[in-house]
Every structure is written in structure tokens, then in C-alpha cells.
Chain A
Amino acid sequence: EVQLVESGGGLVQPGGSLRLSCVASGFTFGSSWMGWVRQAPGKGLEWVANIKGDGSQTTCVDSLMGRFTISRDNAKNSLYLQMNSLRVDDTAVYHCARWGVTAGLDFWGQGTLVTVSS
């Protein structure tokens, strides 16, 4: 059974940093593109970043480039999102998800809530 479990969310002040983690199981993690998607309270989905299975290629939404960095550790079956210079409008539930061979996100974690507030 595929499982994706996020952690690392919480309350942080504006300008602060946070590192989200996602532990994967039930599939060959190192062979899969992975991504982060966020959803602000009461709002829609927003794609954040992707990373190739071997970590050699990453992409990020233009508006977050320079502040957010996606990475992975295949030995630990783990995906990460380093978030710096956090702003109030970064408040959201952050989901990690697997890109299937279908170019769709076929498995999602339940998400971890990040709240940016003073």
C-alpha cells in the first residue's frame, strides 16, 4: 500500500524558515518524480515544486523560486521542502504527492499545516 506521510508543519513568524518532510512507503521511491502542492485555507490547489527520482532535476513555481527548495534522500525514502523568508500568504496545508507515469499525481499525503503569523 502506498503511503505518504508529511511532517514538519507548525506556527512560524513572518521571515522565519521551516523544513517539511514526507516519508514514502509502498513503492520504489527513487524511481518516482515527487512534488509538493499547497492549499491555503478555503482556497484552491497550487503546485509548488517537483523533483526527479534521482534528484537531478527540480522545478518550482516562479513565484516561490529563491525562497522554497525541494530535495530528497532516496536512502531514507524521504522528500523535503525547505521554506525560507516565510510570508503570511504562505499559510497553507502542504501536501506531498507522487507523479505517476501518467503525468498525474496519483498518490497524495494528508498534508501538514503551515501557519505563518506573528
Chain B
Amino acid sequence: QSALTQPPSASGSPGQSVAISCTGTSSDVGAYNYVSWYQQHPGKAPKLMIYEVTKRPSGVPDRFSGSKSGNTASLTVSGLQAEDEADYYCSSNAGGHTYVFGTGTKVTVL
């Protein structure tokens, strides 16, 4: 149950796109289509942004999209806005009802 690997930081100007990778193994990301992404603003609880690799909960802007290839999942934020500046975490099922989170990526809007 090692943490999934994410880049520590990513950045983009308003209106641009930023992509965040999440690399696991064939026992977690590669094995299941249960990858989720969470957004966390400082001092706040995390918020679910993407589930089952590509799906958005009600209320999440379609600027947020997810994908997966092999052992690596990705979150793309298009049309960056100031309020998108936050920490982002991926998560994957790791067998049974066990889960693992990513190391987290701080997104900065320049």
C-alpha cells in the first residue's frame, strides 16, 4: 500500500490548462477503474472532483476531466481559474475495499 506518485507542483496562467499525473502499479491504478480525484483548499476538507476515472459529481465544472492509461491516471483542469488554486490528490482502489491516496500536487494559478 505505497502512496501513488504525483508531481509536487503544477502551474498555469488563467485560461490555460494544467494536467496532473498519478502513477501507481498494476495492483491499484492499473487494476481498477476506481480512481478518484480530490481538491483541497487550505484549512478545508477535501472535495470529490472525479470518480471512476472520468466521471464528475453533480456541481463540478466540466473544466475538470480525468483519464487513465495503464498504471497512470491524469486530471486535467482546462480554462484555469483563480479558485482552482489548491492541492489535488488522486486515490485508487487497491483491492477489496482498501484504498491508497496519491502524494498530492499543489496547483498554482500564476
Residue numbers in A under 8 Å from B96 (CB-CB): 59
Count A-side interface residues using an 8 Å CB cutoff. Answer: 25
Q: What residue in chain A is nearest B87 (Cβ atoms)?
A: A44
Partner of B93, one of A45, A52, A103, A108: A103
CA separation between A63 and B100, bound complex, in Å? 12
In the complex, the answer to whether A44 meets B57 with C-beta atoms within 8 Å is: no
B101 interface residue per 8 A CB criterion:
yes
Closest Cβ of chain B to A95, distance in Å, is 6
CA separation between A28 and B45, bound complex, in Å? 21
CA separation between A47 and B3, bound complex, in Å? 10
Bitwise, A41-58 to B at CB < 8 A (1) or not (0) is 000111100101000010
Residue numbers in A under 8 Å from B45 (CB-CB): 95, 108-111
A100 interface residue per 8 A CB criterion:
yes
Q: A69-118: which have CB < 8 Å to B?
A: 95, 100, 102-106, 108-111
CA separation between A109 and B46, bound complex, in Å? 9
In the complex, the answer to whether B1 meets A105 with C-beta atoms within 8 Å is: no
Main secondary structure of the interface of B (DSSP, over half): strand
Chain B residues proximal to chain A, CB less than 8 Å: 1, 3, 34, 36, 38, 40, 45-48, 50-52, 55, 57, 87, 89, 91, 93, 96-104
Chain A residues proximal to chain B, CB less than 8 Å: 33, 35, 37, 44-47, 50, 52, 57, 59, 61-63, 95, 100, 102-106, 108-111
Known: A37-B101, A46-B101, A110-B45. 19 other contacts (CB 8 A): A35-B99, A44-B89, A44-B102, A45-B46, A45-B89, A45-B91, A47-B100, A61-B1, A62-B1, A63-B1, A95-B45, A102-B52, A103-B52, A104-B48, A104-B51, A104-B91, A105-B48, A105-B91, A108-B47
